[in-house]
Amino acid sequence: MSRWVIGAAWPYTNAVPHLGTLIGSVLSADVVARFLRMKGEEVIFVSGSDEHGTPIEVEARKRGVDPKVLTDKMHELVAELFRKWNISFDNYTRTENPLHKEFVREIFTKIYRNGYIFTKEIEVLFCEKCGIYLPDRFVEGKCPFCGYEFAKGDQCENCGRLLDPVQLVEPHCVFCGSKPVVRKVKHWFIDLPKLEPEIRKYIESNDRLPENAKNMSLSILREGLRPRCVTRDNKWGIPAPFPGAEDKTIYVWFDAVLGYISATIEYFKKLGKEEEWKKFWLNPDTKVVFFIGKDNIPFHTIILPALLIASGEKFVLPWTVASTEYLLFEGRKFSKSKRVGIWIDEALELLPADYWRFALLYMRPETRDMSFSWELLQEIVNTQLNDVIGNFIHRVLTFVKKNFNGEIPRVEKLYPEDVRFQELIVKVVDEVDNLLMNMRIRDALLKVIELAREGNRFLNERAPWTKIKTSREEAASIMFVAIHAVKALAIMLAPFIPTFANEIWRQLGYSDDVTSRRWDEAKKPVTAGQKLGEVRPVFKKISNHELEELKKRLQKIRAEGKVPSARI
RNA sequence: GCCGGGGUAGCCUAGCCUGGUAGGGCGCCGGACUCAUAAUCCGGAGGGCGUGGGUUCAAAUCCCACCCCCGGCACCA
């Protein structure tokens, strides 16, 4: 048995997450966490709200509320949504929690004492009217190259030229429109070049990193690491613990990424086991896995390891970083400002969570960007989930119901063809196991579907409806194994679609929760004589008409502001 | 501009690192079956693997050049 820390990227609380962020982080992590628990591993699954930084401050200012008020609300909202999505966090916390703040200050104090922090003066733009320092893209002006009126401080969206905010003609603050001034300020930097050899060693020797994470990390290392500024002039954040930096806060990225550890500490503290977290994070055998989108890679493969190494404590470094590519929406990037995509609160208003879970996991952009489309959603739900899996389960269960009085038949000995199928079941269970251990979630799901497909083929070839007329014994042998396949499906689907899996479990006649069962039980047949529960179709299709209705309903929800993401 | 990643049948996609007759899913056509939510299963058609060179007995896979798409380029999270 191993110890695992499963971490999902911390959603930034300036908005409700959309489906793209969900599949990349929280949902993928949930599948693996659930799977590992069923494997009997010791698992801590953590995440939380990432609530510091300028965008939050700005958003709060826009609404005229304190940032804390805003994030309190958002945190509750998002946490509740994840519950509805059946995400099995052990601890979903937040960066505003005192334990986290204290932990971050403690780590940075250690990093400072170990000589990895130095100061430097830099020039930044300051809006005197708003009283805040403006990140590049919060400055707008006329592009000096093409004359475009709304060029951002970092890049002109019209001609694509990269800009320095000071190059802008008539620069102005995006919030109040006034002209920002250039200020020289002192900031605290982490000396990444000094840490580079150790980071390089870590990346190069980690052969579990997915290709995208490894390539991006190596390419960043190839260019050479530069010192990075770890302080900000925001008020909203964790006060920097460095002498002389009393009015600064820690840059949100360096704060949030430490949350995986503080969340673990908090989890055990609540259980009254204050020291237990060390058995995870200070143990070289612990497997720490992060689930993130590709935009997050450097922070998890380089920044976080850098902080952990620089702290001088013997923290275990990530075992792997399961980084996905992007989920696109109808071929375009999800965009909050352009309102492209579907948000996780909206989705739940359209279909039960497990349909989304299944479809999203099926579309998981494991090796390249994947495009969500309504038609694809329909195809996955109708063909894969309903027709292939659902129909297989249903035809098996109804056949047993009708012909064997709803009881798992007793079998003296299995026919050779049936033994062969039974061996296949066991083989698939192991293959799915192996894929999930390697974070190949989409491939694992495809493999599960394949078992249902094989099940359908098996039934067609063995035709128990014909056999039962001549040999009840042979039909029993067939169905005994077919039922075994249904059981295996219920168990293997549990990490993916826990609610539906449980429904299948119940129909098989079990009264407990399938997620409390062990994974390897999928290899064992159902006990003869067990009485089936009530049998009815578990899934249903989305008709063309219904699909159109879903799209309309989404528009309506937005128009009426029924759902939080419609208002935020 | 620089650095990544992609370009595979009508659509989605695997394979590319570790070269050897291009796999799967959807859709389409034909058939089988009728236990099952008209579901399932089998067979078939359909591909110059972005373009042009090169290496090799052999390239989607390796090398070079070019074209298109997407992302990053560090104070944006």
Nearest nt to the A232 alpha carbon by C1': B75
A283-286: long-range contacts (C-beta < 8 A, 24 or more apart)? A283/A3, A283/A316, A284/A314, A284/A316, A285/A2, A285/A3, A285/A316, A286/A2, A286/A3, A286/A4, A286/A5, A286/A316, A286/A319
Distance A548 CA to B8 C1' (A): 32
In tens, the pLDDT along A348-372 reads 999 999 999 999 999 998 888 888 8
Distance A156 CA to B3 C1' (A): 20
When divided into structural domains, chain A yields a total of: 3
Distance A361 CA to B15 C1' (A): 21
Same domain, yes or no, for A342 and A439?
A: no
Nearest nt to the A537 alpha carbon by C1': B37
Residue A185 CB coordination number (10 Å): 14
A157 pLDDT exceeds 60?
A: no
pLDDT tier, A161 (very low <50, low <70, confident <90, very high otherwise): low
The CA angle A10-A95-A319, to the nearest 5 degrees, is 45
Which protein residue lies nearest to nucleotide B73, measured between its Cα and the C1' atom? Answer: A162
A234 sits within 7 Å of strand B by its CB: no
Starting at the edge strand found earlier in the chain, the sheet holding A139-142 runs: A151-152, A139-142, A169-173
A370 sits within 7 Å of strand B by its CB: yes
A223 sits within 7 Å of strand B by its CB: yes
Question: In this structure, what DSSP letter does residue A207 have?
Answer: T
A186 sits within 7 Å of strand B by its CB: no
Q: What is the CATH number of the domain that holds A156?
A: 2.170.220.10
Q: What is the CATH number of the domain that holds A89?
A: 3.40.50.620
Same domain, yes or no, for A263 and A394?
A: no
Distance A368 CA to B47 C1' (A): 21
Q: Is residue A141 part of a domain?
A: yes
Q: What is the pLDDT at residue A47?
A: 96
Same domain, yes or no, for A326 and A396?
A: no
Q: Which of A256, A269, A351 lies closest to A296 in space, CA to CA? A: A256
Q: Which of A412, A438, A187, A166 lies closest to A320 in space, CA to CA? A: A438
Distance A262 CA to B27 C1' (A): 50
Burial of A412 by CB count in 10 Å (0-12 exposed, 13-18 middle, 19+ buried)? exposed
In tens, the pLDDT along A213-226 reads 887 888 778 777 88
End of a domain among A315, A350, A385?
A: A350
Distance, CA of A78 to CA of A242 (rounded, Å): 33
- Helix, strand, coil content of chain A in percent (nearest 5): 50, 15, 30
User: What pTM did the predictor assign?
Assistant: 0.93
Same domain, yes or no, for A433 and A468?
A: yes
* Positions in chain B where some atom is under 7 Å from a protein CB: 1, 3-6, 12-16, 25-27, 32-37, 39-42, 70-77
Distance, CA of A46 to CA of A286 (rounded, Å): 15
Distance, CA of A366 to CA of A175 (rounded, Å): 38
Q: Which two tokens stand for residue A448?
A: 């599960």
A281 sits within 7 Å of strand B by its CB: no
In tens, the pLDDT along A5-51 reads 999 999 988 888 999 889 989 999 999 999 999 999 999 999 999 99
Same domain, yes or no, for A339 and A371?
A: no
A187 sits within 7 Å of strand B by its CB: yes
In tens, the pLDDT along A254-278 reads 899 999 999 999 999 999 999 999 9
Distance A475 CA to B34 C1' (A): 16
DSSP lists the bridge partners of residue A447 as: none
Q: Is residue A278 part of a domain?
A: yes
Same domain, yes or no, for A119 and A102?
A: no
Task: Report residues 456-475 of A contacting strand B, contact meaning Cβ closer than 7 Å.
Answer: 456-457, 459-461, 463, 465-466
A58 pLDDT exceeds 90?
A: no
Q: Which two tokens stand for residue A138?
A: 């919060």
Distance, CA of A560 to CA of A552 (rounded, Å): 12
Q: What is the CATH number of the domain that holds A396?
A: 1.10.730.10
Cα-Cα-Cα-Cα torsion A364, A366, A368, A373, nearest 10 degrees, comes to -10
CB neighbour burial string for A40-75, b if at least 16 within 10 angstroms, e if fewer: ebebbbbbbbbbbbbebbbbbbeeeeebeebbbebb
End of a domain among A489, A508, A523?
A: A523
Q: Is residue A18 part of a domain?
A: yes
Q: A4 φ, ψ to 5°? A: -130, 140
Provide the mean pLDDT of chain A.
Answer: 90
Q: What is the pLDDT at residue A567?
A: 66
Same domain, yes or no, for A12 and A160?
A: no
Q: Is residue A430 part of a domain?
A: yes
Nearest nt to the A333 alpha carbon by C1': B70
A183 sits within 7 Å of strand B by its CB: no
Same domain, yes or no, for A433 and A506?
A: yes
DSSP lists the bridge partners of residue A152 as: A140
Distance A332 CA to B70 C1' (A): 10
Distance A142 CA to B17 C1' (A): 46
Which range is least confidently modeled, A232-246, A394-408, A467-481, A521-535?
A: A232-246
Nearest nt to the A328 alpha carbon by C1': B70
Nearest nt to the A383 alpha carbon by C1': B26
Q: Is residue A533 part of a domain?
A: no
Nearest nt to the A331 alpha carbon by C1': B70
Same domain, yes or no, for A335 and A423?
A: no
Nearest nt to the A455 alpha carbon by C1': B40
pLDDT tier, A200 (very low <50, low <70, confident <90, very high otherwise): confident
Task: Report residues 126-145 of A contacting strand B, contact meaning Cβ closer than 7 Å.
Answer: 135-138
A202 sits within 7 Å of strand B by its CB: no
Same domain, yes or no, for A73 and A125?
A: no
Q: A85 φ, ψ to 5°? A: -85, 5
ipTM confidence: 0.88
Distance A294 CA to B71 C1' (A): 9
Q: Which of A452, A389, A455 lies closest to A418 in space, CA to CA? A: A455
Q: Is residue A284 part of a domain?
A: yes
Q: A123 φ, ψ to 5°? A: -95, 130
Residue A10 CB coordination number (10 Å): 27
Cα within 13 Å of Cα(A49), Cβ side = 25
A50 sits within 7 Å of strand B by its CB: yes
End of a domain among A508, A523, A538?
A: A523
A544 sits within 7 Å of strand B by its CB: no
CA end-to-end distance (rounded Å), chain A: 44
Same domain, yes or no, for A491 and A409?
A: yes
Q: Which two tokens stand for residue A560?
A: 């009426």
| Domain range enclosing A141 | 115-195+203-232
Same domain, yes or no, for A162 and A191?
A: yes
Q: Is residue A157 part of a domain?
A: yes
Place of tokens 């982490």: A190
Q: Is residue A271 part of a domain?
A: yes
Question: In this structure, what DSSP letter does residue A287 have?
Answer: E
